[in-house]
Amino acid sequence: MSFPRRVLASCLVLALAWPAVLPAPAVADAPTPPPAVAVTAFLLPHAGVPEGQAEQLMLSLERGLKKNSRLAVKDSSKLLADYAGEIPSELISTARKLLAEGTQAMLELDTPNAVKKLGQAVEALEQVLPFIQKNELAEAMMSLAVAHLAAGDRKQGKAALQRLLTWRETLAYDTEKYPPKYLEAFEEAKKEVKRRPRGSIEVRSEPEGAQAYVNGKFVGVTPATAEGLVVGDHYVTLKKEGFQKLLLRVHVSPKKQESVQGELKRSEKYKLVQDALERAKGGVEKEVADPGMVDLKAFLFVDQVVFVRLSSAAGRIHVDAFLFDLRSKRRLSVVRRDLEPQLLDAAGPGIADNLYLHVPYDGALVAPPDEKPPEHRKRRPFYFTWWFWTAIGVTTLSIIIPVSVTAQSESRAPDPFRRVVVTTY
């Protein structure tokens, strides 16, 4: 290769490699996002509106609030249960510890220990299911099934998968989290569950009027019926304001409708919330929060509260939603809607968006814009006024005219022929 070509090739190589040797550009620190605002929603007494319709709207409103990334939406019943010491924190901690230990044993290929720990985790999580996310139980069941398969027990593995898919039909196998080689067993179990017959259950509670959830899905207010359930074990959760949550496991049969009933235990601390809501009922129309509303912050530890008031007229549901900030003790916004009953389930996101339209998240009050001061007519400088120049003119003339006359008199030559008259007495 001739010298010019070698030089050209060297330059080309250097040009291609040049970006790699340059120092990496400094990356600016990402701005710290503002802390989420803790908010919860309460349904005020709603005579004339069925419990089922009221619950539909509240669930829809909660979904709408959760779409707002600036908010940390809290379940009021969980907050109250936590304040009253009704959440089994130690049992929850133990269950999660077993799940972590079982998962670690799987990573270490200690399958016998993994099967043991994960089996214990599933049983422990079932006991605290009303107070945790159901995805935690689903994760434990999936890990247990994979542990059985890894241990070479295909029968137990598929049985564990079928038990999981009975109440989590739409679950998908995550090949990034679990070994891809067990995907085939998962798909086989899913097909077998899909071929099973279906049945229904009737859910009752004492007292009646509790919100009933089957596998986490709201099915109505007790007495309620859930249909189209795959034969096998399902989870029923009962929830009623003023009472502790209750979990029931029920087996669905293809031959008859099963009936399950739960007796709810009253919450010991609900009287505090009840008193606050009673006072809030008459204070939501005011700009300043009632002291009873502010008390909610002391034992629920939330920053903002949405109070929902419902009434029925002419077959429509009138909704009043009031957003209060418990830090500034002020009402931030009000949203009012007249809805058809069939639209309650879809109305929540719109109400949530409008509640937070142009309102502060930090508890500070937005000061009204300063009023524009009245415009004062700018006075013209005095030397632009007519009276100034008139005075100047008069003053000037009063000086010039006498001086001029005097000057003319003094400058006139004496007349030599002027007769002089002397008078003698």
Mean pLDDT for each 10-residue chunk of the chain (425 residues)? Answer: 48 43 52 83 86 89 94 86 85 96 94 96 94 93 96 95 95 93 95 95 93 92 93 94 89 90 86 74 85 80 92 90 92 94 92 93 61 55 60 64 54 47 40
Q: How far apart are CA 229 and CA 233, in angstroms?
A: 10
Q: What are the Cα distances from residue 276, in Å, to 89, 283, 300?
A: 27, 10, 12
Closest CA to 234 of 175, 163, 150: 163
Predicted pLDDT of residue 392: 66
Q: How many CB atoms lie within 10 A of CB 46?
A: 18
Residues of each domain in the chain carrying CATH 3.40.50.10070: 35-86+268-363
**What per-residue string of b and e applies to 329-362 under the rule 16 or more CB within 10 Å gives b?**
bbbbbebebebebeebeebbbebbebbbeeeebe
3-state SS class at 228: strand
Predicted pLDDT of residue 309: 92
Q: How far apart are CA 424 and CA 206, in angstroms?
A: 149
3-state SS class at 267: coil
CA dihedral 105, 107, 110, 116 (to 10 degrees): 40
Residues of each domain in the chain carrying CATH 1.25.40: 88-195
Q: How far apart are CA 62 and CA 65, in angstroms?
A: 5
Phi-psi region of 401 (alpha: psi -120 to 50; beta: other; left: phi over 0): alpha
**What per-residue string of b and e applies to 147-183 under the rule 16 or more CB within 10 Å gives b?**
bbbbeeeeebbbebbbbbbbbbeebebeeeebeeebe
Q: Under CATH, which architecture does the 35-86+268-363 domain have?
A: 3-Layer(aba) Sandwich (3.40)
Structure tokens given for 223: 């007495």
Give pLDDT tens digits for 153-207.
Answer: 999 999 999 999 999 999 999 999 999 999 999 999 999 999 999 999 999 999 9
3-state SS class at 370: coil
Which residue's structure tokens are 């719109």? Answer: 350
Percent of the chain with pLDDT over 70: 78
Q: How many CB atoms lie within 10 A of CB 31?
A: 6
Backbone angles phi, psi at 69, to 5 degrees: -65, -15
Residues of each domain in the chain carrying CATH 2.60.40.1120: 198-263
Question: Alpha-carbon torsion 287, 292, 298, 304, what sign?
Answer: negative
- What's the CATH code, domain 198-263? 2.60.40.1120
Q: Are 243 and 162 in contact (CB under 8 A)?
A: no
34 prior amide bond cis, ω within 30: no
Q: How far apart are CA 355 and CA 262, in angstroms?
A: 37
248 Cβ contact partners less than 8 Å away, ≥ 6 residues apart: 235, 236, 237, 238, 260, 262
Topology of 88-195 in CATH? 1.25.40
Q: Are 315 and 342 in contact (CB under 8 A)?
A: no
Q: How far apart are CA 261 and CA 204, in angstroms?
A: 4
